[in-house]
Amino acid sequence: MITATDSREKAILHWLSNDLNLEITHFESASSDASFRRYFRVQYGQQNYIVMDAPPEQEDTAPFIKVAELFAAAQVNVPEIIQQNTEQGFLLLQDFGSQCLLDSLNNTNDDALSETLYQDALNSLIILQSNVDAHNSELPHYDADLLNTELHLFSDWFLAQQCEFIVDKTQKTLINTTFQLLIDSALQQAQACVHRDYHSRNLMHISDNNPGIIDFQDAVIGPVTYDAVSLLRDCYINLPDTMIERRLQVYYAQLKHAKLTHCDYAQFKRDFDLMGIQRHLKAIGIFSRLNIRDGKPSYLEDIPRTLDYVINVSQQYPELKDFHAFLTQYILPLTQDKL
């Protein structure tokens, strides 16, 4: 007998069984994410499906539905929406299985397979960027205000609250100057469709048309390097620098062929590196907020890797040497006690 553990689960089962007249033979938690959304795997007939549970008072299913339709039309492999109940916040979705790219990488020592999986992901990214019209998609733009808001997650949640570090006037000026440098770099890049969370936990390893792409509801039009740096400098797994460089050069050639960027490789690499710092500072702030506000301390484990990216890349650019020194002198030592 299938039982529910809370009122939302009961409502899901009622919707499936009574409203959709489906004979559910299996119901289990599939995953949760950094938002208020949860996912359940259900079985009826011989097929598995996913139910998204998005409480309407906290989450809106409309962006997910809109972007799913946009991406599907662009031939991006996203789950089909089979049924929807937007009033209660339930969606019945195609099931891409339970093995994401991160799982596949952790379960293999085959470097050739890893390179193939990453090239699959970059090929899918090129399809996304080529087929979603950056001018007519009606997606919001990754503008200066949004970039700035994201960067301040680092100072507001990580520095001030997680590390309990009070910046002085000189340090505040340095941080703001660094933020502006990163914003300017992002805005001067070629603009394309950005998934915005294109990493190993949101790319499902499947046998047909790999990968299956999920968690795309926050898509925007923004810097062309954003998703590539999310993937290749992933907050959840380290890749060898040599592999990152190989994949990035192939991806750059694909972008040039598709006329999605026109700069030389040196400029592209700088754009990629600075975009990565912006994203990683944001991620560090989000991980801290998830711990402090949402009671999800497991994300703290990903901060050292993510901070290392910022420290390692910032030392390569003279314009970031003071910010690099600030991080290594003041912040890195604090992480031993605060994480």
- pLDDT single digits (tens) 53-89: 999 999 999 999 999 999 999 999 999 999 999 999 9
Distance CA 117, CA 104 (A): 9
Given a contact cutoff of 8 angstroms between Cβ atoms, the answer to whether 76 and 124 are in contact is: yes
What predicted TM-score, i.e. pTM, was given to this entire model? 0.94
**pLDDT over 90, % of the chain:** 93
What is d(CA 60, CA 86) in angstroms, rounded to the nearest whole number?
Answer: 8
The pLDDT assigned to 216 comes to 97
- Burial of 336 per CB tally in 10 Å (0-12, 13-18, 19+): exposed
Determine contact, residues 278/151, Cβ cutoff 8 Å: yes
What is the pLDDT of the chain when averaged over all its residues? 95
Decide: helix, strand or coil at residue 248: helix
Q: Residue range 167-182: average pLDDT?
A: 98
Residues 277-304 have a mean pLDDT of 97
Q: What is the C-alpha to C-alpha distance for residues 149 and 48, in angstroms, rounded to an integer?
A: 39
Q: If you compute the radius of gyration of the chain from its CA atoms, what whole number of angstroms results?
A: 21
pLDDT digits (tens, 9 = 90+) for 87-110: 999 999 999 999 999 999 999 888
- Determine the pLDDT at residue 67: 97
pLDDT at residue number 1: 63
Confidence category of residue 45, pLDDT binned at 50, 70, 90: confident
Evaluate whether 133 touches 119 at the Cβ level (below 8 Å): no
Q: Identify the weakest region by mean pLDDT among 1-10, 60-69, 265-274, 329-338.
A: 1-10
* Range of lowest pLDDT (43-47, 49-53, 169-173, 274-278): 43-47
Structural tokens at position 326: 């600030």
- CA gap 72, 132 in Å, rounded: 10
Residue 306 has pLDDT above 70, yes or no: yes
pLDDT for the residue 3: 76
Enclosing H/E stretch for 68: helix 61-73
Helix and strand numbers, DSSP H then E, in the chain: 12, 9
The pLDDT score that the predictor gives to residue 190 is: 97
Domain boundaries, the chain: 7-94, 101-338
User: Which residue has better confidence, 32 or 312?
Assistant: 312
- Output the pLDDT for position 33: 64
What pLDDT score does 65 carry?
97
Superfamily covering domain 101-338: Aminoglycoside phosphotransferase (APH), C-terminal lobe (3.90.1200.10)
User: How many other C-beta atoms are found inside a 10 Å radius of the C-beta of residue 317?
Assistant: 15
Lowest-confidence pick of 33-42, 54-63, 129-138: 33-42
pLDDT digits (tens, 9 = 90+) for 5-15: 889 999 999 99
Q: 7-94 — its CATH code?
A: 3.30.200.20
Cα separation, 68 vs 86, whole angstroms: 14
**147 φ, ψ (degrees, to nearest 5):** -60, -40
Within 10 angstroms of residue 32's Cβ, the number of other Cβ atoms is 12
CA distance 196 to 229: 10
Q: What is the mean pLDDT of residues 138-144?
A: 95
Name the band, by pLDDT with cuts 50, 70 and 90, for residue 149. very high
Q: Over the stretch 179-215, which tens digit does the pLDDT of each residue have?
A: 999 999 999 999 999 999 999 999 999 999 999 999 9
User: Average of pLDDT values for 116-127?
Assistant: 98
The three-class DSSP label of residue 292 is helix
For residues 302 and 285, give the distance between their C-alpha atoms in angstroms, rounded to a whole number.
11
Asked if the model's pLDDT at residue 243 lies above 70, the reply is: yes
